[in-house]
Structure 1
Amino acid sequence: MTEGRRATLKDVAAASGVSRATVSFVLNETPNQTISEATRKRVLRVVRELGYRPHGIARALREGASRIVVLFIASGLEGNYSRSYVRGLDEELAANGHVLMVRHGPTGPDAAKQVLDAINPRAVLRFGEVYQTGHELDDLGGGWRDGLAAHTALQIGHLAEHGHTAIALALPAEAPLAEVRLGFAQQAARSCGLPPLRSLVVPRPREAGAAAVAEFRRTAPEVTAVAAHDDDVALRTLTALRDLDVAVPGECAVIGFDDTEYGALFTPPLTTVHIDAEAHGRVAAREALGLDTAGLVPAPARVLVRRTV
């Protein structure tokens, strides 16, 4: 074989002294073939020695789809949850001979069609899709057990345990799941016996955020704690409170959500909710491949107690 040239099925067959069909049967573990164990071992040894890898396009034509799974992540959904989800999804797919491709940005029909036409993936997944289709309680774990609803309840419950009864939910100007989060937060507040939450939009840039928080505090002076949509909004809220000379947590407590590394670097360090979604990603991978999902138990979400509550 020429130096640097990729080994082919023909090369493996020639080096093994068998037909290309036999090599294919061995690699695909085709049932009902009378291939001796010695021949099978010889073929696999040659495969290793030559570094042979099946050609993706040829395999896609044979199997009817490529071994690529595509994940769309809409803007605004990046965070610790998505990172750990992607990690679990990627590792589980790799363990089962598939490759993950992640696309950030638009997730609509046109974007999906472009991918389908280009690579014919095994499956197309949309991160957080269940929360954008009106079935927000059908997520992995059943919503209130181990999904976004439960994680939101953990955040609101932590503030309630610290004696806060007047709470606001801080939201970004635009977020794919803002309405869902607000709905879950209101349900969590009712479960804790709290009055309805106030909502507060904290926009960019810094000056706009400070102005919004100042106006909110003028109209809702009873609010003593803010639960943020995510750590990014929490840090914008903390910055605004600092610019307004409001003591945290003395005058107003703040809790983040989804634990970015920046929260621990802020002064005061941000209390937040940490969510490990690796098992969720592994479940999604197995479901996409039609495999059993038994035994995959997500790690429970937890509050990282720092100094803003």
Structure 2
Amino acid sequence: MEHGRRATLKDVAAASGVSRATVSFVLNDTPNQTISEATRARVLQAVQDLGYKPHGIAKALREGTSRIVVLQIDSGLDGNHSRSYLRGLDQELTEHDHLLVVRHGPAGEESARRVLNAINPRAVLIFGEPYRNGRVVEDEGDARDGPAAHVALQIAYLAENGHREIALAVPEATPPSAARRWFAQVAAGELGLPPLRDLVVPRPRDAGTAAIAAFRAANPSVTAIAAHDDDVALRALTALHDLGVDVPDECAVIGFDDTEYGALFTPALTTVHIDAEAHGRHAARAILGLNPAAPGTAPARVIPRQTV
């Protein structure tokens, strides 16, 4: 076997002088198979000598419900929160010999039923559902981590830079936006700021520019925009550019979740970076019924660039 290459079932069969089917029967302790103790011992010794480990995907597909976890994620979610969550969830599941299957797109009832019928997973997760609802890893009231703390960090950064009249920009009026608005208003109140102004920034570009123009005309005292995510922040920056508004001197903008596209924009977008790897690991351990102990969460942080 080549140095550094992972041992395969074929390698074990060759080393023990039996067929791959026999190796599989031994490893799976398949009933109704007549295999001598000498052969069984030879196969197990080859497994130990070669450091063979069953392929996780194959094992998951064989065992179905005990080895597969499905994560449903909106195809439009692409930030450090989702990427780090996926990384933590996948790593923790892999360490416990489980397989993560990720489905992108809308999670309709019929679609979910087909998944359950086809692969009988151990669990189906909806990405971001606990986060949007304000539930965090250890405690719903945890002030160090989770949506309330992350939104508070965003609003506080604007306040620290002298902004009092702030708009909260969202893509549309949806339940997640309502939850986000509540967290932001609580943060503003705790900082002694006036209530945040509501701002919906729609697509396409012309509609977004028109919305920003109308908002600024109706709210001339607003000097900063806290965006629902980096996508909305970039829509706002584009609209402000089209309107000839100087950023950040006339209007500051801060994003959320650092998709990294903001760093390519001019001016480069100030944003909040969220690392949710530990969240993913905690979710995996909860699914597997394990002690929730896992690496502590990394605190969110502001990435200062040029728009605040």
Into which bin does the TM-score normalised by the smaller protein fall? 0.7 to 0.9
Please tell me whether residue 209 in structure 1 is matched to residue 208 in structure 2.
yes
Q: Measured at CA, do residues 20 and 259 of structure 1 come closer, stay the same or move farther in structure 2, by a change above 3 Å?
A: closer
**Which amino acid in 2 is paired with 1:238?**
L
CA shift at 1:259, angstroms? 0.3
Please tell me whether residue 249 in structure 1 is matched to residue 248 in structure 2.
yes
Q: Measured at CA, do residues 19 and 171 of structure 1 come closer, stay the same or move farther in structure 2, by a change above 3 Å?
A: closer
Q: Could you say which residue in structure 1 is the equivalent of 2:136? A: 139
User: What is the identity percentage for the equivalent residue pairs of Structure 1 and Structure 2?
Assistant: 57
**Which amino acid in 2 is paired with 1:103?**
R
Contact 2:69 2:101 in 1 (8 A): yes
Q: Could you say which residue in structure 2 is the equivalent of 1:68? A: 68
Q: Could you say which residue in structure 2 is the equivalent of 1:24? A: 28
Q: Deviations over 1:220-258 (max 9, x none)?
A: 001011000000110111111111111111111110000
Please tell me whether residue 121 in structure 1 is matched to residue 121 in structure 2.
yes
Give, in whole Å, the separation in 2 of the partners of 1:109 and 1:204.
27
Contact 1:203 1:212 in 2 (8 A): yes
Please tell me whether residue 101 in structure 1 is matched to residue 106 in structure 2.
no
C-alpha RMSD of matched pairs (Å)? 3.2
CA shift at 1:41, angstroms? 4.7
**Which amino acid in 2 is paired with 1:130?**
P
Give, in whole Å, the separation in 2 of the partners of 1:297 and 1:125.
21
Q: Could you say which residue in structure 2 is the equivalent of 1:169? A: 168
Q: Measured at CA, do residues 53 and 268 of structure 1 come closer, stay the same or move farther in structure 2, by a change above 3 Å?
A: closer
CA shift at 1:101, angstroms? 0.8
Q: Measured at CA, do residues 58 and 265 of structure 1 come closer, stay the same or move farther in structure 2, by a change above 3 Å?
A: closer
Give, in whole Å, the separation in 2 of the partners of 1:99 and 1:53.
10
CA shift at 1:23, angstroms? 3.7
Matched ranges for 1:37-116 at <5 A:
41-45=44-48, 53=55, 55-56=58-59, 59-60=62-63, 65-116=65-116
Give, in whole Å, the separation in 1 of the partners of 2:205 and 2:14.
63
Q: Measured at CA, do residues 264 and 89 of structure 1 come closer, stay the same or move farther in structure 2, by a change above 3 Å?
A: same
Q: Measured at CA, do residues 174 and 74 of structure 1 come closer, stay the same or move farther in structure 2, by a change above 3 Å?
A: farther
Gaps of 5+ in 1: 27-33
Give, in whole Å, the separation in 1 of the partners of 2:60 and 2:200.
49
Q: Could you say which residue in structure 1 is the equivalent of 2:284? A: 285
Q: Deviations over 1:95-146 (max 9, x none)?
A: 11111111112224322211110001121111122256xxx23322435331
Matched ranges for 1:215-294 at <5 A:
215-294=214-293
**Which amino acid in 1 is paired with 2:136?**
D
Q: Measured at CA, do residues 174 and 80 of structure 1 come closer, stay the same or move farther in structure 2, by a change above 3 Å?
A: farther
Give 1:15's match in structure 2, choosing from 15, 18, 22: 18
**Which amino acid in 1 is paired with 2:137?**
L
Q: Measured at CA, do residues 284 and 102 of structure 1 come closer, stay the same or move farther in structure 2, by a change above 3 Å?
A: same
Give, in whole Å, the separation in 2 of the partners of 1:276 and 1:122.
26
CA shift at 1:45, angstroms? 4.1
Total equivalences in the alignment: 289
Q: Measured at CA, do residues 45 and 127 of structure 1 come closer, stay the same or move farther in structure 2, by a change above 3 Å?
A: same
Q: Could you say which residue in structure 2 is the equivalent of 1:130? A: 130
Contact 1:76 1:175 in 2 (8 A): no
CA shift at 1:78, angstroms? 3.2
**Which amino acid in 1 is paired with 2:134?**
L
Q: Deviations over 1:68-117 (max 9, x none)?
A: 11001135433221111111111111111111111112224322211110
**Mean CA deviation greater in 139-148 or 209-218:** 139-148
CA shift at 1:204, angstroms? 1.1
Give, in whole Å, the separation in 1 of the partners of 2:135 and 2:181.
17
Q: Deviations over 1:153-189 (max 9, x none)?
A: 0000111111111000011136562111111101110
Q: Deviations over 1:27-85 (max 9, x none)?
A: xxxxxxx99x9768515248767x8658547842xxx7251110011354332211111
